[in-house]
Each structure stands twice: as C-alpha cells, then as structure tokens.
Amino acid sequence: IHAHHVSAAGGGYLEGYLSAERIVQHLTNIGHGANRKMYENPNRVADFIVATDDWTRAKAADAKRTDPYWSAVRFLQTQMDGLRAGVNARLEETGADVEPLSRLDVLRLSTVWENEDISLANPLLRSPRRCGTCPATPPLPRQALSADQAEVWVRERTHCSMAVKLTHDGSELYIGHNTWGGYHMMLRVHKRYEFGRGAPIAMSSYPGALVSGDDFFQVGNLTVTETTLPSYNHALFGAVTPKSVPYWIRAMVANQQATSGAEWMEAFARHNSGTYNNAWIVVDFAKFVPGKPLREGLLTVGEQLPEFFYFEDATATLSYGYYPSYNAAVYPETARRVGQDAMVRLKGERFSYQMAPRAQIFRRDQTRVRSDADMQQLLRYNQFESDPVAKGDPCKQLACRADLNKDSAARAAFGALDAKYTSSAHVRADRMVVISSPTYDDQPPFEWSRLDRKLEEAHPHEGHPDRFRFPWLVVGGNMEAAPYEEMPDSVREPAIAKELPDWIKDQQARDQVRAEDEAERAIARANEEAERARDDTKGLSLLSISEMAMPGTVAGAAEIRVPGADATPAASGTLGRLAAAGGAASVVGAAALLARWGGRGRLSDQGACEPGEGFCMRKR
C-alpha cells in the first residue's frame, strides 16, 4: 500500500474513533429525519449507492498506480474505510448498544445530499434517455401546483444563499454562504484535512462526512462553494447511472488537485454522476490585488446536470460589485435543460435567476457591504415581517426561518442552518469566520422546545442542544476557534497584508511562467503560418473577434482593422501586448488571427487606428 494511503487510513481512523458518538447521532438523525419522506424506494436508493461505490472502487483498482485522478479516488476510499474502522473500534471499546456501522452507513454520511436525485433516477434506469433528446419545453413534475406551492416544493429540494462581494473601492473581496436544510442536520463540524500533499482543505461539514455537503471549502488560494439547482425536469435523471463517480469524491479530488478555478471545474466534471446538481463557484484569491483591476480567472462559475457540465470565467460580472447564487440556473442552456425557462412561463418570474426574491434582496443590500460586520448581516438577513420582497414569507429572505411561518400549514423545521465567509485578508491569514445557528439577528433564536410537537417528532435531533444561539467564531489554520466579538480589531476588521504569503507568490509565479510559455509557442506558430497566409488579407476591412469563432479568444473583446493588403508578418511585440490585455488564453487565438492575415499591428488602448497601419486591434 502506498505510504500516502497509510496516512489516509490513519486520518480516517482517527476521525472515526474520536467522533464516533456524534457520527452515530448524526446518522440516526439523517436516517429518520423528515426529509426521508421525499425519497421513494429507499432500498433501491441504497442499492444504487452501493453499486456506485462498487463501480468506482473497481475503476480505481484497475487504473495505473501513477494515474493522479484515480490515485486520489483510492485515497478517499481508503480514508472512508479507515473512518468506518475507527467508529466501530470505539463503539466496541465503549460497549455502546449500537450495531457496528456497515459500508452503507458510512457511504450515507457523504452521499445524503444525492439521495433525492438517485430516487428520481431509479424508475428511469431501465430505459435511459440522452439529454440531447430533451424537449425544448421539458415536462414539469408539479404543473398542477400553484406558484406558492411550487416555491415550497423547490425550497424543500434546494438549499443555500451565496454571494461574492467586491467592496466599492476594490480594497477587499468577500465570499460567503449559508446552508438551508432541515433542522435535524444541525450537528455541525468544522474540519481541516492536512495529509502532507497539496494545500490543506478546511470546510464546514458534518460528523462522519468526508466532504463539506454545504458546500464551503477553503483550499489554499481557492474558496469553493455552491448552491443547488432545482430539478423541474425529471426526465433528465434517466441518464443517471451507477457507473459514475459520486459527487463527494469528485469534489474532494478537485480540491486535492486544482490550483485554479478552471482546473477545479475540469477535475470535478470528470465522471459526472448527474446527482446533487449545483451551481459551483470558485474564487481564486491569488488573483486578487486590493485596489487593482480584477484579473482573469479570479471567479469561475460552473453548472452541473446529468450528462452536462458548463463553466466559464465570471470575473467580468464580479467587476461590477458582486456575484450572487440562490438555487437558480444562470446559464441559458442549463435553464433550458433543467426546466427553469418553462417554469418561468408557467408560474411567473419569481422562478427566474434575475427576479427570484433573493435576487432582488441581494441586488438591493449588497451595496452596504464594506466590512466583516456588514457581510455577517447580509448572510443572516431575515426581516420578513417588514421586507416588502418577503410578503410575510420567512423564507423569501436570504436566511430562511420556515419555523416562524404564520401559516401553520406551511410551518416547517427548516431554514438557514449556519453562515460562513472569508475574505482576502482572512485567506492570507489562513482564517475562516463561521456561525452555527438559524439566524437570530432580527428573529428569536430557534429552540426545539418551542417547536410544534409534530414537527419536533418528525425531526430527530440526537446530540442537539435545545437552544441555538451560538456566536460567530474565527477559526484559524491551527484549528483554534475564538468568538469573533472577542477578537482584536486586527482580526475583526483586518487590513490587507502588505507582504503576500509564499503560496500566493508561488501561484502568481506559476501563472506568469505558464503565460510566457504559451505566448512563445503561439508566436512561433503564428510566424510559421504567416508565410502561408499573406494573400488572405486582400479585401479585408473590419471584423470582430466574436464573429471569427477562433479558439482561445475572448469573444467581443476587441475590434480588428486591416486597412490594406500590404502587410508584413506578425511581430512578437504585438503578441506580448495582446497577452497583457487578454490573458494567456487569448494569445493563441490572437496569434492565429495575426498569422491568418499576415498583418503587422498593435493593440490600441483607446481611439482609432493610426493611418497607414497594416493591422490594429482596438479594445472595446
């Protein structure tokens, strides 16, 4: 066995042994909680989970030992096996009146978020259909519901509010998230995994889960989070098969291997299970410089559905001040496939990305965020009695509190369970700020003893306190946690460190080397092709990059002007300026562009091209 996998087994064993009691409590809560009623054929769901694990283990065993992807998969499987052994060893040692945990029990701790999608897939597995055949207006599972009823249906099957916020002067960048779920899920653990390879992985999580589940990860310079996409189009799940890698493994493999947002998305998209379909958001803090224009690759956003994964750089959107996510598809193709477009037509604009209640609140309130305290208030916001957007609904707010609904029929033990955020200053200091409790900023704290008896009985809560009014905590890299209010001003309102940490310097150096190498290769290819392409300049007057569909270019980023046909081969100076403007990804397309028309030219920051120039690119 590889020495690195020995540390995985040992780490898993230690976690299982030390938290055995909490793991058993949490497993009881999720196994018998009210959300269980959503999952049809629980035995078939269990069969699917085991079949997926069998397939993944077989693929990992057959792969070359040097394959980094499958080596990471084996690492996680070994960690899970160690966790199970540690729990059972502790249960036997204490003589607890509990059955030893089975493989399925341990799998459920990390796959509970996939259960409903698996239950939707099971009836369709005999005759899977391909997503490419999905109709433009897919059938919706709840057409008979009113718009209000459909909102509740969506709310019970999705969770989370998330925002990336750039302060008005560009001096600080925040990313924060709160998790919505049943209150039986409120046994929480903040974890940090360090196994001697790659960046440490810090995350909000649950007892026995080897993934965040919320999700909120801090991995070196990367912060990774998500919000769930609604599943209006159940026909999509006919493509789901056990011959895939479950979400929790794909997320943790991506965390282990990626050093950028694009790399994270590419790793996560491999062997897509089509379960726990989310909008994923990655912020690369190595690319953030306070007070400077945002660099390409700082914010990457991707969306997953069965047999579908799309991501792109969303930094340009963030440059306007913020980027939110709240259980609605942002990309047109995702919205079409998942049935969101059809839902908007049938039930109204409240189901759209732009006009959902939380979209309106984020748009209105994000301008106030200029400090840690402001970010905390945003993530915990619930003033449903007075907020006109809410219309009296405590879940049409950023932090839901369904237990406070005035309508007893709509009341539920459900809401925003927590909040957590970080910032450029906190990331550089290896810190995260977290809180575990339904919001009590403007509402009474949640108490099990004050909940309707039927709701309490439907939500087992072994290991929970009665009252949830915990404070904000600052958690450091050494796993020491202290109340935020007791921290010194240097932590509560941290200044950006003048000296960058070594890991950020290393990442920036790697980015620079990668860009320079790619630029040199592009220049060489361009000059080789220029000799064969001079005649192509005849008759060319004006076109845009977006019209040319050239691979590697940034669509619509520039205008191209070639006044005449008397052009000379491309010069390296031109490509250097193009790289500085568009990033390394655009160099290849720009080089091919120059080669195709054999033009000598320049990048113009402003104004028109100069008379007599053979080639000119003007930024829009």
Higher pLDDT, 121 or 397: 397
Reported as half-sphere exposure (CB side, CA atoms, 13 A), residue 112 has a value of 30
pLDDT in tens, 502-525: 655 666 677 677 667 777 777 777
- pLDDT higher than threshold 60 for residue 538: no
- pLDDT higher than threshold 90 for residue 526: no
Provide the token pair at 191.
Answer: 């974890």
Task: Note the residue count of the chain.
Answer: 620
**CATH code at 131-492:** 3.60.60.20
| Concatenated DSSP letters of 436-469 | ESS--SSSPPEEGGGS-HHHHHHS--TT--SEE-
Query: Does the model's pTM come out above 0.75?
Result: yes
> Are the CB atoms for 438 and 432 separated by under 8 Å?
no
| Residue 604: C-alpha distances to residues 96, 610, 611 (Å) | 74, 9, 13
Best CA proximity match to 210, nearest among 301, 306, 82: 82
- pLDDT higher than threshold 80 for residue 534: no
Q: Mark out the alpha helices in 437-568 (DSSP H runs).
A: 453-458, 489-492, 502-530, 545-548
Tokens 């049809």 belong to residue: 40
pLDDT in tens, 446-459: 999 999 999 999 89
DSSP class of residue 275 equals -
Spans of all domains in the chain: 131-492, 502-619
117 Cα distance to chain centroid: 18
Tokens 């001079």 belong to residue: 534
Q: Mark out the alpha helices in 95-212 (DSSP H runs).
A: 103-111, 115-121, 147-157
Angstrom distance (rounded) from CA 90 to CA 340? 47
> Are the CB atoms for 372 and 493 separated by under 8 Å?
yes
> Are the CB atoms for 593 and 548 separated by under 8 Å?
yes
| Residue 36: C-alpha distances to residues 56, 179, 189 (Å) | 26, 18, 22
- pLDDT higher than threshold 50 for residue 39: no
Query: What angle (nearest 5°) sits at the alpha carbon of residue 161, between those of residues 249 and 289?
Result: 80
**pLDDT, mean of residues 105-122:** 90
Angstrom distance (rounded) from CA 19 to CA 129? 43
Supply the pLDDT for residue 126. Answer: 42
> Are the CB atoms for 177 and 218 separated by under 8 Å?
no
pLDDT in tens, 336-387: 999 999 999 999 999 999 999 999 999 999 999 999 999 999 999 999 999 9
- Which of 37-41, 64-68, 270-274 has the least mean pLDDT? 37-41
| Gyration radius of the chain over CA positions | 26
Query: What angle (nearest 5°) sits at the alpha carbon of residue 608, between those of residues 607 and 609?
Result: 130
Tokens 């150096």 belong to residue: 509
Supply the pLDDT for residue 152. Answer: 77
> Are the CB atoms for 598 and 528 separated by under 8 Å?
no
- Which of 38-42, 275-279, 398-402, 489-493 has the least mean pLDDT? 38-42
